Amino acid sequence: MKDKIFQALKQAFPQLGLGDEILMARAEALDATGLVTEENLQAVVTSQKANLEALQKSNDKRVAEALAKAKKDSDAAAAKLKAEHEAALKAEKDNLEAIKKELDELKAKNPGGQGGGQETNAQIEALKAAYDSKLEEINKTIKALQDTNNDYSAKIKAMQDEKDAEAKKAKAAERLAMINAKAKEAGIPQWRIDQGFNIADDMDETKITETMTGYAAEIKKQMLPERTPFSRKEAETVDKDGVKDIVKGILHK
């Protein structure tokens, strides 16, 4: 009975977008009461509508809150990291400016890089190396900050994409439920509904109703027994004596 309840819930409320685990849990709970029978199954399923709608709204709220919290946490973490990187970047730049200033002073004392003595030339080369090293560190810091921001953006996008996919799935299920309902209203048998219909995505409800009416008419036409009237040759083979006896019987009454 549990599986029947599950399938009935799934068929009755596809527009809610509730997962199979949730619907199966509800089916198990209903089955455990021992009160659900073949006769009252549909009534029991219908009575679950308000409760399942409230559950769906609660789930949507939790998803929205989780998404908002993740974005807030990501924004806060990104802002903190950005501030730390900017502070480190400023310190590196200040250090770089100090090296550059010292380098310029040494160059002023030793125009052209010659005549300043071996010690002065060595200092200039060392300062150049330090300058290049600090510049490389600054560029790495900038890239790390960009990568971190991109990573947070990617995480937020992934969560939003997941939510959009769930919304699209729920919308598709709601449309399918509407199409099947229109098919039932038109009198189309369940076996044909289970086969599915080729309905364009841009077809509105009015056009779907007209299409289902056409399907229903075609199915009824196909299910009517074929008429096979007698051919002329068959009519000529009718027992003439039998016909005469029938006529005589009528006239003598």
Give the pLDDT band of residue 107 (cuts 50, 70, 90): low
Task: Please give the pLDDT value at position 171.
Answer: 83
Residue 115 has pLDDT above 50, yes or no: no
List the domain boundaries for the chain: 48-186, 187-253
Q: Which among 62-66, 94-98, 190-194 has the top mean pLDDT?
A: 190-194
Task: Please give the pLDDT value at position 154.
Answer: 76
Q: Are 219 and 184 in contact (CB under 8 A)?
A: no
Q: What is the mean pLDDT of residues 131-156?
A: 72
Q: What is the mean pLDDT of residues 58-72?
A: 72
Q: Are 43 and 80 in contact (CB under 8 A)?
A: no
Q: Are 12 and 45 in contact (CB under 8 A)?
A: yes
- More confident: 211 or 10: 211
Q: Which residues contact 129 (CB under 8 A, 6 or more apart)?
A: none
Residue 120 has pLDDT above 80, yes or no: no
- More confident: 147 or 187: 187
Nearest alpha carbon to residue 82 among 157, 136, 134, 144: 144
Question: Phi/psi zone of residue 197: left (φ > 0), alpha (ψ -120 to 50 degrees), beta?
Answer: beta
Question: Residue 60 — φ and ψ, nearest 5°?
Answer: -60, -40
Q: What is the mean pLDDT of residues 60-86?
A: 72
Q: What is the mean pLDDT of residues 207-235?
A: 74
Q: What is the mean pLDDT of residues 98-127?
A: 64
Q: What is the mean pLDDT of residues 167-193?
A: 88
Task: Please give the pLDDT value at position 20.
Answer: 82
Average pLDDT, the chain: 75
DSSP string, the chain: -HHHHHHHHHHH-GGG---HHHHHHHHHHHHHTT---TTTHHHHHHHTHHHHHHHHHHHHHHHHHHHHHHHHHHHHHHHHHHHHHHHHHHHHHHHHHHHHHHHHHHHHHSGGG-SS-HHHHHHHHHHHHHHHHHHHHHHHHHHHHHHHHHHHHHHHHHHHHHHHHHHHHHHHHHHHHHHHHHHHHHT--HHHHHH-----TT--HHHHHHHHHHHHHHHHHHHSPPP-PPPHHHHHTS-HHHHHHHHHHHHH-
Task: Please give the pLDDT value at position 140.
Answer: 77
Alpha-carbon distances of 177 from 10, 125, 197, rounded to whole Å: 10, 78, 12
Task: Please give the pLDDT value at position 161.
Answer: 82
Task: Please give the pLDDT value at position 26.
Answer: 84
Q: Which among 66-75, 188-197, 230-239 has the top mean pLDDT?
A: 188-197
Give the pLDDT band of residue 119 (cuts 50, 70, 90): low
